[in-house]
């Protein structure tokens, strides 16, 4: 099994994906253990002094003015975890919780939190045992970090609350730890606070969304090319010299992908022989510009994610010179903004895909295709309601594009009076990514059917490869009306697991 070694300098997106989705093992390197021990010595020294230090010998948030005596500090750390584990609503996905736990471990290993090495080792042990704390949908305002979700994870380290075992069964966390030989941690000064004060949930969801969207943006280039071809459009608008004079890198990449898919097509530009069109509709002609803008948004979001993956987010932090200082680095604004920005780009990509699908189904705009791509229009409805479903998804995506980060709701007796709502931005982006996948699947379903209805014209070799792969996947082609939901679900899976891109690349080579 793949192993991810955590040091003091942060982790990569591929590390997060390996642990969250691939079940990779986690190990601490010697450098991290030494940094943990050194930072802990600093915290212990401060704890022995009479002067109050936030998070070490004081209460938290609006209660930070109370100095806590030594005999109450272990109780204080337990209590902050118990009281902050106040999430409600449905459980979040296992991969999100694993990303959340791994990213908190990453920060702990930076040597900036003051957590003992044994606590970090227990975090790794829980991940490696496949134990997943029960974390709920609601409870994080994205400041101070993802408090409630992280608290539910910390509760499991203490042997309390509920968690899911490697067999998928939810049981008391203490039982699961015992079965795997893991001793629950007894928290000391600052450790409870350090386990729950970070942007780890929203960051983990950002990393996974970026990975999914990399595939989906290439998938959308493929389906846009198939639709252009099925509509007998012109591929001249994809010429690299046209995109060079507006040098957005994402636009050039999308145009290059579409051109690669359409190479050798016997359909593109065919309309010029009998029904001249000066130019294609925006949803076809401007596909690279819209998808390209989204690609550039992904690039910006990836830069933010990389910076956050290298960060040590906690409050207070142990600095290299031995100071323990309060700060505001836990505020989720940098991550929240790009999560919302991505939701806008996703909604627009879905919107233009839906417009292309509608054009394929409209006999007045499809340049010779049967109404709704039906076998016997009037007796058969064809893909009429598949487009309704796609339109409903796009409408939902537009609502999900409303930014969460533009909102703020005060908490903690006005001590935390401006929050990021980054967790909420991440949760709605996950829904948006799922819905975009479905929208692209409907366009794929319509475009492959339309291409097969163009009798006497030869699709591009890459298009033919996609059609063949779709049919091998059990997704039926043109014919009389049938139960559509299973076909659409199969098309969704075909896009979601990357088979669409793989099919095109058997001809084109690697797409961008």
Q: What share of the chain is helix, strand, coil (3-state, %, to 5)?
A: 55, 5, 35
How far is Cα 367 from Cα 359, in angstroms, rounded to an integer? Answer: 9
Residue 433, token pair as written in the block = 């990514």
How far is Cα 352 from Cα 283, in angstroms, rounded to an integer? Answer: 6
User: Alpha-carbon torsion 12, 16, 22, 25, what sign?
Assistant: positive
Virtual torsion, Cα 418, 422, 423, 426, nearest 10 deg = 160
- Phi/psi at 27 (nearest 5 deg)? -130, 150
How far is Cα 206 from Cα 210, in angstroms, rounded to an integer? Answer: 6
193 half-sphere exposure, CB direction, 13 A CA radius:
28
Interhelix angle 499-508/484-496, rounded to 10 degrees, is 60
Helix or strand run (H / E) with residue 318: strand 317-318
Residue 361 Cα to chain centre, angstroms: 32
Residue 354, token pair as written in the block = 């839906």
How far is Cα 164 from Cα 153, in angstroms, rounded to an integer? Answer: 11
Residue 6, token pair as written in the block = 């955590």
Within 10 A of 412 (CB to CB), how many other CB atoms are there? 17
Residue 173 contacts residue 155 (beta carbons within 8 Å): yes
How far is Cα 93 from Cα 135, in angstroms, rounded to an integer? Answer: 8
Collect all residues with Cβ–Cβ distance below 8 Å to 490 and sequence separation of at least 6.
473, 474, 475
Residue 73, token pair as written in the block = 């500090």
Quickly list H helices, 362-405. Answer: 384-400
How far is Cα 289 from Cα 282, in angstroms, rounded to an integer? Answer: 10
Computed on alpha carbons and rounded to an integer, the radius of gyration of the chain in Å comes to 26
Active site residues: 54
Quickly list H helices, 52-116. Answer: 73-84, 94-108
Residue 275, token pair as written in the block = 């029904």
Residue 94 contacts residue 227 (beta carbons within 8 Å): no
């Amino acid at each position: 099994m793949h192993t991810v070694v955590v040091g003091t300098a942060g982790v990569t997106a591929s590390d997060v994906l390996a642990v969250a989705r691939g079940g990779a093992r986690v190990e601490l390197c010697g450098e991290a253990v030494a940094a943990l021990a050194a930072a802990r010595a600093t915290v212990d020294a401060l704890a022995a002094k009479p002067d109050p230090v936030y998070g070490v010998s004081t209460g938290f948030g609006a209660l930070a003015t109370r100095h806590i005596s030594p005999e109450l500090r272990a109780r204080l750390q337990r209590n902050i975890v118990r009281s902050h584990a106040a999430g409600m609503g449905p459980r979040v996905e296992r991969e999100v919780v694993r990303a959340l736990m791994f990213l908190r471990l990453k920060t702990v290993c930076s040597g900036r939190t003051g957590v003992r090495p044994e606590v970090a080792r227990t975090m790794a042990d829980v991940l490696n045992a496949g134990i997943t704390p029960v974390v709920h949908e609601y409870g994080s305002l994205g400041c101070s970090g993802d408090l409630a979700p992280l608290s539910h994870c910390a509760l499991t380290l203490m042997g309390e609350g509920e968690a899911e075992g490697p067999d998928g069964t939810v049981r008391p966390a203490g039982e699961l730890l015992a079965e795997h030989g893991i001793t629950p941690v007894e928290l000391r000064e600052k450790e409870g606070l350090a386990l729950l004060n970070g942007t780890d949930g929203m960051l983990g969801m950002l990393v996974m969304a970026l990975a999914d969207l990399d595939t989906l943006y290439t998938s959308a280039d493929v389906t846009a090319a198939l639709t252009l071809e099925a509509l007998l459009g012109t591929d001249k608008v994809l010429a690299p010299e046209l995109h060079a004079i507006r040098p957005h890198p994402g636009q050039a990449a999308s145009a290059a992908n579409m051109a690669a898919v359409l190479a050798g097509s016997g359909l593109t530009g065919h309309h010029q022989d009998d029904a001249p069109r000066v130019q294609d509709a925006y949803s076809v002609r401007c596909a690279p510009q819209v998808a390209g803008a989204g690609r550039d948004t992904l690039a910006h979001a990836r830069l933010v994610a990389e910076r956050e993956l290298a960060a040590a987010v906690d409050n207070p932090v142990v600095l290299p010179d031995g100071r323990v200082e309060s700060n505001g680095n836990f505020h989720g604004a940098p991550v929240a903004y790009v999560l919302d920005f991505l939701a806008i780009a996703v909604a627009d990509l879905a919107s233009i895909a839906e417009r292309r699908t509608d054009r394929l189904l409209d006999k007045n705009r499809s340049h010779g295709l049967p109404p709704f791509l039906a076998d016997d229009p009037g007796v058969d409805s064809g893909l009429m309601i598949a487009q309704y479903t796609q339109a409903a998804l796009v409408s939902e995506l537009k609502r999900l594009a409303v930014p969460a980060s533009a909102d703020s709701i005060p908490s903690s007796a006005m001590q935390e009076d401006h929050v990021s709502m980054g967790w909420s931005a991440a949760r709605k982006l996950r829904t948006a990514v799922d819905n975009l996948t479905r929208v692209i699947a409907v366009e794929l379903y319509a475009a492959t059917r339309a291409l097969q209805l163009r009798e006497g014209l030869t699709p591009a070799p890459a298009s033919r490869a996609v059609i063949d792969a779709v049919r091998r996947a059990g997704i039926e082609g043109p014919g009389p009306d049938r139960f559509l939901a299973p076909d659409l679900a199969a098309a969704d899976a075909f896009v979601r697991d990357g088979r669409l891109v793989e099919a095109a690349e058997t001809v084109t080579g690697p797409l961008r």
